[in-house]
Chains A and B, each alone.
Chain A
Amino acid sequence: MNKRNHSIAFWAAVVVFLVAVLSMTQIVRNEYPFFAGYVILQFIALAVAWSILGGYAGYVNFGTNAFFGVGVYTAVALFKATGAPLAVQIAAAAVVGMTLGFGVGLLTLRMRGIFFSIATIALAIIIETFVMNWRFVGGAAGIQIQRPPVMAPFDSYVKMLFFVQAILVVIAIAIARYIQNSRIGRGLQALRDDELAAECTGVPTLKLKLIACMISGALISAAGAPAAMYLQYADPSSAFNLSYSVSALAMALIGGTAHWIGPVLGAILLGSTQQLLAVTISSEVNVLVLGIMLVLFVVGAPKGIIGLLRPRYRLRAGGKQ
């Protein structure tokens, strides 16, 4: 019963969120909040998607930028070849990201810990080099894209992208929440704590790792796909920028990886700080501020924001029972 109430509350919140986003696109005239908001939403989706593999399964994926870039370039290639609409671009990016995730999942057969992380960095470099030599999508020089006309009820493309990214965030969170509360999540938790012990007690570790990799990859690539239309430009060094990996990881760690709300909080905090610093301090100092923030969280809150909040929650729950 309690679980069901939780579900109702969650989906009600989702509906409220989407309605709020939609009405914001209809009411607010100034376009800047949508430009900045899009980036923050994109990072929420990335951080949540990252934590499915990195948080629940404990496999630290440094190749977020590989999946992100694959999403961007799937969209670019598809748009250039067929003029496919945004929804098709995103769906295709998710499929390609899932396939790539399957490949990465197979890597986990032989590699764990730091070696897995290094392999994912290498993956990003390999794919970036491939794209650099693929002239159809602009190669090393990058490619400029003309957006198609915007669809009703939106009056600008950025507002539409903002709404689309909000939907992607909801999808990412819903999937992360489902995994967390299901057998898959408990299995992943078991293999994070001790993979060998989990295997011995009958947890199908390889199957679970493959599922986690594929879902995480598909979500990251899907979140990357609209970036092509957002920037109206794609070049390998921006699309495969390591900062996507670092940010996604930092956001998930700052928020905490044990619960899906952690990466969401982390991404909102770090993403808005980044956006705010970019237009206030705006110099080398903003890199320093972010660095200090990371250090403070690692030292002061090793389990992230939710780690700080949890003891209180537990106390309250214990009191009621």
Chain B
Amino acid sequence: MKRRTFLGGAMAVAVVGYGSSTLAQQPPIKIGMSMPQTGGLAGGGKASLLGIEIWRDDVNAKGGLLGRKVELVVYDDKSSASETPAIYAKLVDVDKVDLLFAPYATVPTAPIMPFVKQRGLLLMGNFSFQVNSKVGHDMWFNNAPWGPADSWAASFLDLAQKAGGKNMALLTADQEFAQNLALTARDVAKKRNIPIVFDQVYPPNTVEFSSIVRALKAAKPDIVYVASYPPDSAGILRAVNEIGIGDSVKIFGGGMVGLQFAAVMSNLGSLLNGVVNYNTWLPEKSMYFDGTKEFFDKYTKRAVEAKVDPLGYYLAPFGYAMGQMIEAAVGATKSLDQKGIAKYLRENEHKTIVGPIAFSADGERKETATLQAQFRGVKDKDIEQFRSSGRQVILFPDKLKTGDLISPFEAARN
């Protein structure tokens, strides 16, 4: 009896081994990355990773790249800049990965830029902001829709000026990303002769904003540009709701981080109405491309299990798109030669689930695809409402536009 079981097992192993031998003979293509899975950036990092994993499963179901399976090698960088140099040295020198993806966000990515430049390695960027501007690596390609550095503030001020805004108030957190935005906003305002009537930088852990909002209101600005982080975004909106912001304000928002995440959105509910804020992907008609819907069907199912953002609009589809670009480039060049892949990525436009992507010389998008969208008709405590179109109407860019700005801000709040 025992011997028969053993024989059966051996045969089964042999059959399975034979069946998968075409894929098994070739070693897998390894893609290495670090990803914030603990610490402040973990929420975003996990959602981004899920997007990349869905791509891996899709491409493997289609037979892999160059007939080889794709395998991800992922380490946790604890959201810290000090962890990534050692991790990427391990990925390259010990794990001998074939390709590299960058971790989510600017801080963990910045220390590895000089390393990849020195070694001449291709790096697919993952939502960092202007991390290559000083390094000048020609094999860096950012998946984020940011585009040129000043386009972020420029698009918001375009909308504001069209609505009749003539002077601006700035309210910004004293942190890396918000200060980058504030810097470009001041530059753009100066170029366009928009006077800044209020410029307040607040420390990162501020929770009480009523005195700041009162001072802001007293300055009677037309345009209010806010660059804030999740906890303060909520605090600012609560204070605005209590105190009001005055009838002079034509447009409010711009760079508020947090209003892209399901938990924060459902928590704030109707307080969001009227706010114009940046975004990367929204469930509006103009945003569906080849494969977008299928991606979100898979994401929605797996997000529950992976305990990540149930909507996943902000990062996950761009993780998938990063994989799609590699898939296209490896397919076209029929090799893993990083120089060849970089050349292909630089010279072509790529079809992805977040729309066509083309790169400029610095590895950022040629044109910005960062959305400015206005919250409308949002009710309290309901995540599901954000899955339907019309809750966040896209005002910019023109190609993707699904509505016009309602102004002034007070009128749009109701």
Contact = CB atoms under 8 A, between A and B. Distances in A.
A144 B113 contact: yes
A283 B76 contact: yes
B83 A278 contact: yes
A35 interface: yes
Interface string A262-273: 000000000000
A158 B92 CA distance: 15
Contact of A36 (B86, B114, B115): B86
A281 B173 CA distance: 35
B111 A30 contact: no
A31 interface: yes
A31 B90 CA distance: 8
Interface in B167-188: 174-180, 183
B38 A141 contact: no
B37 interface: yes
A31 B114 contact: no
Given A39-B86, A282-B74, A283-B37, A144 B134 contact: yes
B110 to A, nearest CB: 4
A71 B87 CA distance: 24
A140 B76 contact: no
B89 A142 contact: no
Given A141-B179, A235-B81, A241-B80, A35 B174 contact: no
Nearest to A275: B86
Interface residues of A, number: 37
B77 to A, nearest CB: 8
Contacts of A31: 89, 93
Interface residues of B, number: 36
Contacts of A238: 80-82, 107
B174 A132 contact: yes
A160 B183 CA distance: 37
B90 A235 contact: no
Contacts of B111: 231-233
A91 B202 CA distance: 35
Given A133-B174, A238-B80, A282-B74, A35 B89 contact: yes
B89 A32 contact: yes
B81 A32 contact: no
Contacts of A309: none
Contacts of A132: 174-175
A227 B176 contact: no
Contacts of A139: 179
A287 interface: yes
Contacts of A233: 81, 110-111, 113
Nearest to A280: B75
Contacts of A82: none
B291 interface: no
A279 interface: yes
A140 B174 CA distance: 6
Which of B78, B111, B177 is packed against the most chain A CB atoms within 10 Å?
Answer: B111
Interface in B192-235: 203
Contact of A32 (B80, B90, B106): B90
B94 interface: yes
B400 interface: no
A217 B323 CA distance: 47
B85 interface: yes
B24 interface: no
A287 to B, nearest CB: 6
Contacts of A99: none
Given A142-B110, A287-B38, A279 B87 contact: yes
Given A132-B174, A235-B81, A144 B86 contact: no
Contacts of A140: 174-176, 178-179
Contacts of B134: 144, 146
A286 interface: yes
Contacts of A7: none
Given A32-B90, A279-B90, A241 B82 contact: yes
Contacts of A241: 80, 82
10 contacts: A32-B89, A140-B178, A144-B110, A146-B134, A231-B111, A233-B110, A237-B176, A278-B78, A282-B37, A282-B75
Interface of A: 30-32, 34-36, 38-39, 129, 132-133, 139-142, 144, 146-147, 158, 227, 230-233, 235, 237-238, 241, 243, 275, 278-279, 282-284, 286-287
7 nearest A-B pairs in the assembled complex, by CB-CB distance: A35-B86, A35-B89, A238-B81, A233-B110, A231-B111, A233-B111, A32-B93
